[in-house]
Each structure stands twice: as structure tokens, then as C-alpha cells.
Amino acid sequence: MAIGWGFSFQLWIYLDTPARSLGYAALDLALTAIFFQMARRRVFPAPLYVLHAVLVFYHLYTATFEADYYWVQVMLNRSFELELVYIIACAGYRIRILGARA
């Protein structure tokens, strides 16, 4: 996730709006493939796979129809926060389960 954030930050700095959306789509496509592989063995990465699959289509939509840039930023910020909350909740669940086993 940190590597994906680093790549997205570089896309933010160096690319303009339509190219940035296509770059984000490529990045989310790679993350979708990674989360798909992870979801084959465990259930926790499955919502992250679905989220990034939806984001691929969202980025293609914003690149094609040149959506309002402010709302694109708002949507991406909320999806990133949703992803962080989910990861934190999964970590809390694992800590609780491992604590109960000990």
C-alpha cells in the first residue's frame, strides 16, 4: 500500500489531469491484480480487490469525460480513507484474535 501511495504521489507531481487519471488507472489495475492474488488465499483482501477494480473504471471514466477535478480529488481522498479504515479494522481484528489465543 505504501508503494502504491508513493507511485500515486509521483503521478500527482509529474502528470497533467488526463494523463494522471490514466496513470492512476494503471496503478489501480496493478493493485487489483495483487489484491486478487491475495484474495485467492484469504478473505480479508477481497474488499480491497473490489475497491481497486471499481477505481480502475472510475479513473478511466474521469480520463474519458474529464470530470470536475475537485470532485475527482474528493472521491480519491474518500476511497483512500475507506481503505485505511478497513486495513486498521482488519489489523484490530487480528490483534484481538491472536490475543484471545494466547
User: Could you state, in order of their start, the residue ranges of all structural domains in the chain?
Assistant: 2-101
Question: What is the reported pLDDT for 49?
Answer: 94
Alpha-carbon gap, residue 12 to 76, rounded angstroms = 12
Alpha-carbon gap, residue 29 to 32, rounded angstroms = 5
Question: What is the reported pLDDT for 102?
Answer: 67
Longest dimension (CA), the chain: 54
| 32 and 52 Cβ atoms separated by less than 8 Å | yes
Question: What is the reported pLDDT for 29?
Answer: 92
- Angle subtended at Cα 54 by Cα 80 and Cα 48, rounded to the nearest 5 degrees: 55
How confident is the prediction along the chain (102 residues), in pLDDT tens digits per residue?
Answer: 677 777 777 776 767 777 778 888 888 899 999 999 999 998 899 999 999 999 999 989 988 887 777 888 888 889 989 999 999 999 999 999 888 876
